[in-house]
Amino acid sequence: MDKLESEMGRILFILLSISMISIPLPCLSDEIPPKVILAHADRSRGNIGGIEWIIDLESREGEELHKRKILVKARGNNSLAEFIAPPKVKGQKILMLDRNMWFIKPGLRKPVPISPRQKLMGGASNGDIASTDYAGDYKAELVTEEVFQGEPCHVLDLNAANKNTTYSRIRYWVSKKRLVGVKADFLTISGKLLKSAVFEYGHSIPFQDASIPFISKMIITDEVVKNTVTTLVYTQVNLKNIPDAAFNLNLLRR
């Protein structure tokens, strides 16, 4: 009997060993740190060496329709937005330097400090028209994976690392294949949903001997003020050298 039990134990050990070997282990090479994911996604939303683009901003608030055309020049996380149309806002500028922001208007004696969180138009905040630096502005945690519009995505929970961010919290869906942000929920600190946005990437730009997607449309739906939808269409995307003078507050106020 002892010999039989011993033999059965040996067979059971072998079977368990085979079973453990066949269990698939996590592929660590597929795991990308959240900050790296965000840095990739930021590049496709303007956080790159030097670039400019035009935004056609359209906001529908119930029966009202508002439009703006804006030229944005960005280098890293610094941005200068100049309003081109309509005539009543032409020449107005918004300057963002390391998340500090000023409004400059022809005729005003001094630039006015403003917040990235202030409403620009419709559901768009001032910070929405600038380049993004989610990798630097937020503490990120990779919370799960989901499929959005047929595309497998990393889902990250972002909490503001400083008071100058555009939003306190963001739930951010980043395509696993393209490493671009495809959806965002903008939340209060307590988790209340304020706005949601979806992103399209119909442009491409050269980057380090490769081509990367660049944003072409952002649609913001206000979850608090119903029937308010704001669309930002990005065109005339050009990589170019943006000199320091473009971000010099003293020069812009003249």
The pLDDT assigned to 109 comes to 84
pLDDT tens profile 89-139:
999 999 999 879 999 999 888 999 999 999 999 999 999 999 999 999 999
Which residues are within 8 A (CB) of 248 and not within 5 positions of it... i.e. 6 or more apart?
none
The more confident residue out of 53 and 227 is 53
Is residue 22 predicted with pLDDT exceeding 60? Answer: no
Name the percent of the chain lying above pLDDT 90.
76
The pLDDT assigned to 99 comes to 79
Domains and CATH numbers, the chain: 34-247 (2.50.20.10)
254/242 Cα distance (integer angstroms): 19
174/186 Cα distance (integer angstroms): 15
Beta pairing, strands 193-200 & 151-160: unpaired
The pLDDT assigned to 98 comes to 81
Q: At which residue do the structure tokens 């005003």 appear? A: 108
Q: At which residue do the structure tokens 């508002």 appear? A: 66
